Chain A
């Protein structure tokens, strides 16, 4: 059965396995070339793994270990965010981080953090407690000192991942979701084709960006043996009435074990507290527990006393793809036409543009036809305006009267925005996917008021019954047949 890729093709120069932020960034980069490219993703949407459960920090690389590939890729990505996010219609702000010391020992460690940041080429200064509170009045009175890292930013990592995939799709990349890899065909020690639930794709080159599944994909291809395991992070999401008051990302002082708990204002105004970092047993386990969440909250409250439990709008967990070593980005030692972009555990968002460039050059080195630029490729996505916070709502209603129909009251998402999301090249196939694109049902009432209406609208666009609408994966539907 030929894959339903909308292009009538079954053979590709490059097949990218994995539609997380890393795979989508690679597809985005390859979309600017004349190569024929497909992206295959097991889940119903891109960005369903670690890419949808992270802090949304685009770090400048200050706390990366100097001299590592991770530090190199993160620091090379950092100056590009303004232009990149503008081109991908993705919310982004360079607001800076305060790493706050509340004990004498932490205060002593600040110099190390500053020196490490500077070794990575990042701006960083030690400031007094009073100076830190002037930069961010919400931090605790007992903050003794802090390191200010002005070039850290916050990014909507969901929109970033969708944006990469959407621009790739507009530039001819076949984005196949709901297409888990079931097998890899080999000929003469090379990969010949990738078999998926949506058909067999002949592939001249394959990029393994499968996150937690990367070890399995490499094994299927007869490539290098390595193990991936989930490292779970638990988070609180607090109301934007508090998050909107934050001027800075506020963190503690990283230790050798963990970067620690952060208070991160998000680009949509809410506030994330987290993450924890505990190796988990099952990749699909996204359960939260009261004890862990309690410890996250306590750590956040030490930094910012104003956080309150009754401001919580969501409690969630996600798994980062851990491996040893991290950042396994390179050509496979056994399979000549396989390139890995795996083990990108914690900084996948922050390094994604430079990782995409590196994989592009690795493919070129391996002989893939990715060296000719496509002059007709679009460089940016057309922006889809939003009503929330818009300074000129009159103009929006002139553009499309459906901007006057608010569907999600908390996030002020209109019928116009939902229609625009449904018309994307990588359209939403579930309520979660629609939320990632529009924020519908993602606000303080978590869909209590709007979810039925949102599902009715999505069902019209998808041609399904409302109860059949998937919440996340296709078998997880909103309702049941009556």
Chain B
């Protein structure tokens, strides 16, 4: 039987390494390296990638899976189009913070309301989403965004954490705990984040709260026959948690294959 896995992060690699000795496994990732958010050079990534390959899994890195239709995965990459008939599709494509709509933020549409991954990506390139940003959230993405923004030269960073922080706040960050954001104010650029009665003055709002699964394979966004979702929403995320999710997915795949064989 063939198993297609979307996402070559820790979860996808762990699932592949577990299944590849018995099944034909192909792993797709839109990024040209394995590891996902954990990073391609991390020892855990290197070790899992090696054991997946040794078990016979095929890694298709830099190839984006786009459609799951009639038991076939369609993927495209710079090398061309891939069509893979598969018994099971494992979606292990990671997570993202909640969007403005998912947070239900009211107000207008000023510039400077930026998802945390975008703010981090800009900051890594020396570009600032704002000089006095307000980061919404208290988990992995919020801590990372605060760190990156300060490193890129932000003058002052406020963290608005809707839930109580479960880890030390980053140095040099003002933390407001226990308030949920309700609206953004300002135009053309954001001037404040509103949380009930509180107004937090800022020139950027960085959306880093909550986690949602990233699902972009048409036909496998919601539950669908032959599809296993493996996207742990742990915050903080751990390698152990990601690996466990991969192993759980592998067990689900085996059960699906078993029931197909029985039928």
Contacts and interface: CB of A to CB of B under 8 A. Distances in A.
B108 A310 contact: no
Contact of A310 (B81, B102, B152, B203): B102
A28 to B, nearest CB: 28
A447 B187 CA distance: 20
A226 interface: no
A472 B221 contact: no
19 contacts: A284-B187, A285-B108, A288-B106, A289-B106, A289-B183, A317-B108, A397-B76, A404-B81, A406-B66, A409-B216, A446-B99, A448-B97, A453-B121, A465-B127, A473-B188, A478-B122, A479-B122, A479-B128, A480-B204
B102 A480 contact: no
A466 B152 CA distance: 15
Contacts of B188: 472-473, 475-476
A467 B152 CA distance: 13
Contacts of B130: 479-480
Residue of B74, B116, B218 most packed against chain A (CB within 10 A): B218
A465 B125 CA distance: 11
Interface in A297-316: 310, 312-316
B221 A387 contact: no
A387 B67 CA distance: 11
B216 A412 contact: yes
Given A290-B106, A394-B80, A446-B100, A476 B189 contact: yes
Nearest to A446: B99
A466 B127 contact: yes
Interface string B76-116: 11111100000000000000110111101111111110111
B114 to A, nearest CB: 7
Contacts of A405: 78
Contacts of A472: 109, 111, 188
A482 interface: yes
A449 B214 contact: yes
A241 interface: yes
Nearest to A289: B106
Nearest to A394: B81
A463 B91 CA distance: 38
Interface string A278-304: 000000111111100100000000000
A295 to B, nearest CB: 14
A192 B153 CA distance: 52
Interface centre among A284, A314, A412, A481 (most CB of B within 10 A): A412
B100 to A, nearest CB: 7
B131 interface: yes
Interface pairs A-B: 3 shortest CB-CB: A476-B111, A452-B121, A476-B188
A423 B160 CA distance: 42
Given A471-B111, A479-B130, 6 more contacts: A446-B101, A466-B122, A467-B128, A473-B188, A478-B111, A479-B127
Nearest to B152: A482
Contacts of B99: 313-314, 444-446, 448
B222 A241 contact: yes
A244 to B, nearest CB: 9
Interface in A242-289: 284-289
A447 B97 CA distance: 11
B182 interface: yes
B118 interface: yes
A403 interface: yes
Contacts of A466: 122, 125, 127
Interface of A: 237, 239, 241, 284-290, 293, 310, 312-317, 387-389, 393-394, 397, 401, 403-406, 409-410, 412, 443-449, 451-453, 455, 465-467, 470-473, 475-482
A54 to B, nearest CB: 16
B66 A482 contact: no
Nearest to A410: B216
A227 B178 CA distance: 47
B162 interface: no
B128 A406 contact: no
Contacts of A449: 96, 117, 214
B8 interface: no
Contacts of A237: 101
A472 B107 CA distance: 16
A480 B96 contact: no
Interface string B156-195: 0000000000000000000000000011000111000000
A482 B221 contact: no
Nearest to A452: B121
B96 A387 contact: no
A482 B126 contact: yes
B11 interface: no
B145 to A, nearest CB: 12
A403 B97 CA distance: 28
